Structure 1
Amino acid sequence: MAQQGYPPPGAPPQQGYGAPPQGYGAPPPQQGYGAPPPQQGYGAPPPQQGYGAPPPQQGYGAPPPQQGYGAPPPQQGYGAPPPQQGYGAPAPPGTVQQGAQSAAWTPNAVAEGAPPHKFDNAADSDPEDNENATEGGDENPDVNSLEPVPGYETVAFMDGPPVPPPAYEPPSESDRPQEVFDSRDGIGEEAVRAAILAFVDKHCCYGSRPAKNMTISKIIPSQALHYQLETFNEARSTSRKFKPYAGGYVDGPENGAPPPVWSMACKPDQQFFTHKKNLEVPHTSIVRQCHRCQGCGFVMCGRCHGRGRVRCSSCHGSGRRTVHRDGKSHRVSCSWCHGSGRRRCGRCGGDGRVTCPTCQGHRQLRHFILLTVSYTNNLEDYILERSDMPDELIRSVSGQTIFQQTLPFVWPISQYPVQEVNQNSIRLVDKHRTAWPNAMTLQQRQTLRSVPVTEAHYDWKDISTRFWVYGFEHEVHAPDYPHQCCWGCNVL
């Protein structure tokens, strides 16, 4: 008796609708791992999938067998599209798709074991340019895309102009203090001779014979007057700033109205010292998606332009190198790139993406208003020195302070016996009162110093000239010293 599912002996194999059906009790064709493959050839019926299903076609141009009649290919997940790997490139099935993360994104954590990016149809840039490439994207977002902050609607990301301070009242005449001056005499001949000897010792090429044997014929002592006016100002400006947001408290506008610029308390670290301090304006913080990576946490690698590989710098992309052996040149496969001409990008690790430098992978930014307080010490001076010595030398030496005054607003000197000092004090004080309309004056300090200056005339051999000794340090100015280069010295 012929078995069910097999033709009688000697009969040709049957195919199509005339094949004996697989009725009840017949084992169904096995599918899956471990099942034997369906038999094809004479004497074996083709396996049928479903009742009335046509047999699979064999030969060139035949479509692949489908599971079910008209069933689509299987998808990963319920209705989910295949995950994308790299920067905008689809990945083969079996890879892991990046989901929502609360921590910062790192390139190699997602692309572990991913296949290399395809770069055969794309032109590579030079290796030298790859080293200096940077990731694209705007550094600052559009200010119009952010909500305006009450009282700070015009603040941009660049530092704005100083905000004018509140009006103040000038001091009255009754607050003017009394002026008290002091004085001090100059130096004598012994101090002048000791100063010129010390001056020569500081210069290795100067000969000491003129300083030791000179004859000082005249000493003219005098006092140089050095007037200084310092105005210590405070200026305030605002700008928009942002920082990567990794969670935490956000002091936003819902906590109250932001305070005005000049109502926030801030004190300088030191009087009459130029420095800056930055304060965050309260109630101005908002959290927004990163504008550079669009909330992804990563951007395209600027070195490989998202390909994951760069041109090999050893073989310049050719995949082969020239080596010299036994006096001959040989072309061998490049050992750095293994003959491919390209290497894995060292910046992104072959993933084609790097952590967003703006949000540092946190995907969100906290925007706020930053208050910049600039403390500036504005200094101007006037020097009265009646000899031929250069006046600027007086600034670098010390002298006797004969008058000093520190007030919110100083009064110009008007009772000093030298009228040039009184006139220039009035000029500088009037100038400083209106020179900085967008800054608040915190303190002013005026100082009048008396610097001793001694002009010494001397004779040595047939030379008659002079030099100057000035300041408490007894510095010397001797441009006409005879032996400025000693005998046999080649140092210029």
Structure 2
Amino acid sequence: MQCRPVAVEEKDGPRYVYKTVYDYDPCHTCTGTGKTPCTKCTGCGSKQCWVCSGSGVRAGGESCHHCKGTGHTNCDGCKGTGLNSCDTCKGKEQLLVYIKLKIKWSSYGIMYPNQRSSYGSMYPGSQLPAAVGHPAVLAPQNPPYGGLAAPSARMFDTVPGYEGTSPEGSGGGFLPPPDAGLPDPPREPAPVQTEWNIPSISEDTARDALVQYASSKCCYSTDPAEQLVFSNLEAHNTYRYRLETFTESRSTEWAHEAYRGQPVDAYTQPPPAPWVIPAKAPTMFKDATQEIKIPNTAYVKPCHTCTGTGKTPCTKCTGCGSKQCWVCSGSGVRAGGESCHHCKGTGRTNCDGCKGTGLNSCDTCKGKGQLLVYIKLKIKWKNNMDDFVGDQQSGFPVSRVSAVTGKKVFVEKQHLVYPVVGFPDPAISRAAKRLVRQHHDKFAPTCRILQQRQTIELIPITKASYSFQEKEYTYFVYGAEHKVYTEDYPGKCCCCTII
């Protein structure tokens, strides 16, 4: 922020004005459009014809040639547009808002007996050297500032702890927790590992699963499933590793609502820091959001939509208050030359959207003319989850595992978990180490990690080899639901396809 001195000559001597650039705001008069309604026609764009006094007809019943029978002519103030260039912003749509410091030196020409000529100086009795050149231009570029508030719509951009708060609707800027970058807290000892080996399913279970599968198909026979002879049941159990990291993130943004007398507490005392504001966390590993109005940030400002009037131009008549008569189509006369009784010969009727006033209540401030502006804290709790499924290279498509459940063989829940070690499948151990590191690097700098949970789920997969009518076949039974996957079931008709 810089101060630029500008010398202004006055009768009592030069007056120097320091202008401090503060911000750009939309013009409050035209709400950033650069245009204002014409004062001559109140934004209608037309005015009553002076020849026929708005009747559209002249003496004798003939149509008025000046207004062509409409009763209205284009306004000469706005050329029929209904709008003129805004006088406040000169049509530029924006205003340069700044703090102005006025400094004025005056000579009073009254001397009392025994009074020294240095009366009024900072150091009485001292002699000040004569100024050379233009002393105001050589003044300090950053003079002391007395703490005045700038008349800007975003005056709270410099609220301590909330610098650069995003405008409303932008989604807000996520704030790192105060403990980001600090060493991780000590972890609890890793639990004793479980015995991982689990046998395959029995022949009866495998047979019942295939019978149920064949029964669910309209053109499949259950005879092969009931009469088959098993030659081998081979377990290809697949493990699904899942890491869940439950995080809390906080962001802030400006918000506003209609002012109805709510408390205004801005600058009464410093607002609390974003991560100090208490909030009740939901159930662990359940997504949730919460919005809190930050204390000591609320202030009142004129509504930016209606510029503090509480009214906005009617959208049906564009603020004119009237619309074309539907009976005479705006001509003011009906067939036969008689005056239209519906619009009384004016060609226009009152707008039913605004009752002829041309204005409606402002939707932004609900007609109050003022807004309560404050900083809103948005808290988001999210369960971030990643899975890894081991591929046993058995010929079974691993993508089908996502549709079934399994048996949880290992569950650990801590603030920060250790990667699983000593697992029979090395791919699971490697995936655990990789995902634990990825979650820490991704979430620790921007969120607060509340808890982590890692789960290993056994997805039972059994490859069944059997013979039927002296031919060899195979199928897979997978998941706790005992679903079946097969490509060569013998008891299907030619019109059926594998699903």
TM-score w.r.t. length of structure 1: 0.62
Pick aligned residue for 2:485 from 449, 468, 477: 477
Gaps of 5+ in 1: 1-83, 93-117, 126-136, 322-332
* 2:357 is the counterpart of 1:351: yes
Aligned to 2:388: 382
The alpha-carbon distance between structure 1 residues 352 and 208, as it changes in their structure 2 partners (threshold 3 A), is: farther
Pick aligned residue for 1:161 from 164, 173, 177: 173
**Number of paired residues?**
357
Aligned to 1:243: 257
Question: Does the 8 A contact of 1:236 with 1:261 survive in 2?
Answer: yes
Instruction: Using the TM superposition, give the Cα deviation of residue 186 of structure 1 relative to its aligned residue in structure 2, in angstroms.
Output: 2.7
- Percent identical among aligned pairs is 32
Q: Distance in 1 between matches of 2:399 and 2:328?
A: 62
* 2:377 is the counterpart of 1:371: yes
Instruction: Please tell me the root mean square deviation across aligned C-alpha atoms, in Å.
Output: 4.3
Q: Which deviations, in whole Å up to 9, do the C-alpha atoms of 1:16-73 show, x marking residues without a partner? A: xxxxxxxxxxxxxxxxxxxxxxxxxxxxxxxxxxxxxxxxxxxxxxxxxxxxxxxxxx
Question: Does the 8 A contact of 1:206 with 1:486 survive in 2?
Answer: no
Q: Distance in 1 between matches of 2:465 and 2:307?
A: 79
State the secondary structure of the residue aligned to 2:410.
strand
Question: Does the 8 A contact of 1:250 with 1:286 survive in 2?
Answer: yes
Question: Does the 8 A contact of 2:173 with 2:253 survive in 1?
Answer: no
Question: Does the 8 A contact of 2:235 with 2:462 survive in 1?
Answer: yes
Pick aligned residue for 1:272 from 265, 268, 285: 285
Q: Distance in 1 between matches of 2:220 and 2:328?
A: 62
Aligned to 1:196: 210
Aligned to 1:427: 434
State the secondary structure of the residue aligned to 2:436.
helix
* 2:451 is the counterpart of 1:443: yes
Give the counterpart letter for 1:434 in structure 2: D
The alpha-carbon distance between structure 1 residues 220 and 120, as it changes in their structure 2 partners (threshold 3 A), is: farther
Aligned pairs (5 A) from 1:15-414: 121=74, 144-148=152-156, 149-157=159-167, 158-167=170-179, 168-172=182-186, 175-181=189-195, 184-204=198-218, 206-208=220-222, 210-254=224-268, 256-310=269-323, 345-386=351-392, 387-414=394-421
The alpha-carbon distance between structure 1 residues 337 and 203, as it changes in their structure 2 partners (threshold 3 A), is: farther
The alpha-carbon distance between structure 1 residues 121 and 189, as it changes in their structure 2 partners (threshold 3 A), is: farther
Instruction: Using the TM superposition, give the Cα deviation of residue 312 of structure 1 relative to its aligned residue in structure 2, in angstroms.
Output: 7.9
State the secondary structure of the residue aligned to 1:261.
coil
Q: Distance in 2 between matches of 1:302 and 1:253?
A: 39
- Deviates most, 451-460 or 222-231: 451-460
TM-score w.r.t. length of structure 2: 0.61
State the secondary structure of the residue aligned to 2:428.
helix
- Deviates most, 415-424 or 398-407: 415-424
The alpha-carbon distance between structure 1 residues 202 and 244, as it changes in their structure 2 partners (threshold 3 A), is: farther
Question: Does the 8 A contact of 1:205 with 1:486 survive in 2?
Answer: no
Question: Does the 8 A contact of 1:285 with 1:368 survive in 2?
Answer: yes
Q: Distance in 1 between matches of 2:166 and 2:325?
A: 44
Aligned to 2:475: 467
Larger Rg: 1
The alpha-carbon distance between structure 1 residues 426 and 271, as it changes in their structure 2 partners (threshold 3 A), is: same
Q: Which deviations, in whole Å up to 9, do the C-alpha atoms of 1:240-290 show, x marking residues without a partner? A: 000001123233321x21011111112321211222111111111001111
The alpha-carbon distance between structure 1 residues 176 and 457, as it changes in their structure 2 partners (threshold 3 A), is: closer
Give the counterpart letter for 2:166 in structure 1: A
Instruction: Using the TM superposition, give the Cα deviation of residue 379 of structure 1 relative to its aligned residue in structure 2, in angstroms.
Output: 0.8
Q: Distance in 1 between matches of 2:230 and 2:151?
A: 75
The alpha-carbon distance between structure 1 residues 279 and 460, as it changes in their structure 2 partners (threshold 3 A), is: same
State the secondary structure of the residue aligned to 2:409.
strand
Q: Distance in 2 between matches of 1:260 and 1:247?
A: 26
Question: Does the 8 A contact of 1:87 with 1:353 survive in 2?
Answer: no
State the secondary structure of the residue aligned to 2:256.
strand
Question: Quick check: which one's strand share is greater?
Answer: 2
Gaps of 5+ in 2: 1-38, 48-70, 82-92, 95-149
